[in-house]
């Protein structure tokens, strides 16, 4: 756990500073993608438990993961809005397909690389939700990974998800996305948030790197593509290594972390003030209204959003 801001909190501030105040200062609960988040959490915990059981008890990690899925399933099914036993059965088949696809593709490779990471970093190297902390421009910041692997030339924090698009991970050809948002006013806050996470993870994992060894974050989806099969459902994985998004944007990201920390310390939560009056972002509050307000669970109680709606012109 970090005493500073997390990548998730910084991403919320990029979405809308007022939303940050509602959710992280006054601690009002948001409803954004709760069921998708729960499904991601289920898959992440399942796979990490498989690795933990393999290290502790010598079981096959796939078998350990499937057993963990069975154990956690009833609690998950009670927590989400599954409308029928048929829907519950379909959802579990999807989850099993994701776990199978993951281990079909990865096998025991990551288990061996987890062991290498444990020798270098110490424990814990298996989560889920291992908090990595770093100090960037004098600010302590943190991000979560699900496990850590090491190869001969790199230490990698792995963040599992069901799909890359569900976690808003940018396409591989969008390496300029952070600069486009922060310096050119292109409003893509959640995608930039994944790059913020990558920068924090890189800086944190660099503590364990040596000459010739790099560090980075990798997003790995366990069911990027799903399709019907004779057995009910098959899935395919995908991954995105985030180092390429940082090659020319580290300074931009570090500056963004600094000004958001300063703004939050000064309790600057007005979107108009942040987006229209400061020099940190070459955009306007209009983009927040058009892209975020209409889907925000706090809009009815937000003075900025209500005033814009009453104007009938954003």
Confidence grade of residue 290 (pLDDT, cut at 50, 70, 90): confident
Residue-number span of the structural domain to which 243 is assigned = 5-28+108-251
Confidence grade of residue 288 (pLDDT, cut at 50, 70, 90): confident
150, 248 in Cβ contact below 8 A?
A: no
Is residue 198 included in any domain, yes or no? Answer: yes
Is residue 176 included in any domain, yes or no? Answer: yes
> Cβ atoms within 10 A of the Cβ of 176, count?
16
Is residue 221 included in any domain, yes or no? Answer: yes
Q: How far is CA 261 from the centre of its chain?
A: 20
Total of domains in the chain:
1
Is residue 259 included in any domain, yes or no? Answer: no
Average pLDDT over residues 132-144: 96
Give the tens place of pLDDT for each residue, 7-50: 999 999 999 999 999 999 988 776 555 667 888 999 999 999 99
Cα gap 61→268, rounded to integer Å: 47
pLDDT of residue 34: 67
Is residue 50 included in any domain, yes or no? Answer: no
Rounded to two decimals, the pTM is 0.91
Is residue 18 included in any domain, yes or no? Answer: yes
Is residue 244 included in any domain, yes or no? Answer: yes
Is residue 175 included in any domain, yes or no? Answer: yes
Residue recorded with tokens 């790199």: 154
Residues of the chain with pLDDT > 90, as a percent, come to 56
Cα gap 34→306, rounded to integer Å: 25
Average pLDDT over residues 76-98: 86
């Amino acid at each position: 756990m970090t005493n500073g801001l997390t990548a998730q909190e910084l991403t919320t501030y990029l979405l809308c500073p007022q939303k940050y105040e509602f959710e992280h200062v006054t601690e009002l609960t948001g409803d954004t993608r709760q069921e998708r988040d729960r499904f991601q959490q289920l898959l992440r915990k399942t796979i990490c438990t498989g690795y933990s059981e393999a290290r502790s008890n010598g079981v096959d990690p796939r078998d350990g993961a499937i057993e963990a899925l069975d154990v956690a399933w009833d609690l998950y099914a009670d927590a989400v809005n599954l409308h029928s036993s048929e829907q519950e059965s379909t959802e579990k088949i999807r989850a099993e397909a994701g776990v199978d696809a993951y281990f079909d593709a990865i096998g025991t490779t990551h288990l061996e690389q987890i062991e290498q990471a444990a020798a270098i970093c110490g424990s814990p190297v298996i989560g889920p939700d291992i908090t990595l902390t770093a100090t960037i421009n004098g600010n302590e910041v943190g991000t979560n990974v699900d496990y850590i692997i090491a190869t001969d030339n790199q230490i990698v924090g792995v963040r599992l998800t069901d799909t890359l698009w569900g976690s808003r991970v940018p396409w591989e050809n969008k390496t300029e996305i952070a600069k486009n948002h922060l310096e050119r006013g292109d409003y893509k806050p959640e995608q930039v948030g994944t790059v913020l996470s990558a920068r924090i993870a890189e800086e944190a994992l660099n503590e364990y790197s040596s000459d010739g060894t790099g560090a980075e974050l990798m997003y790995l989806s366990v069911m990027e593509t799903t399709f019907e099969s004779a057995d009910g459902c098959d899935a395919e994985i995908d991954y995105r290594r985030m180092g390429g998004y940082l090659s020319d944007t580290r300074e931009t990201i570090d500056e963004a972390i600094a000004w958001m920390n300063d703004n939050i310390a000064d309790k600057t939560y007005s979107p108009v003030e942040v987006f229209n009056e400061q020099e940190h972002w070459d955009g306007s509050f209009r983009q927040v209204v058009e892209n975020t307000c209409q889907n925000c669970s706090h809009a009815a109680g937000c003075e900025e959003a209500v005033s814009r709606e009453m104007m009938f012109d954003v």
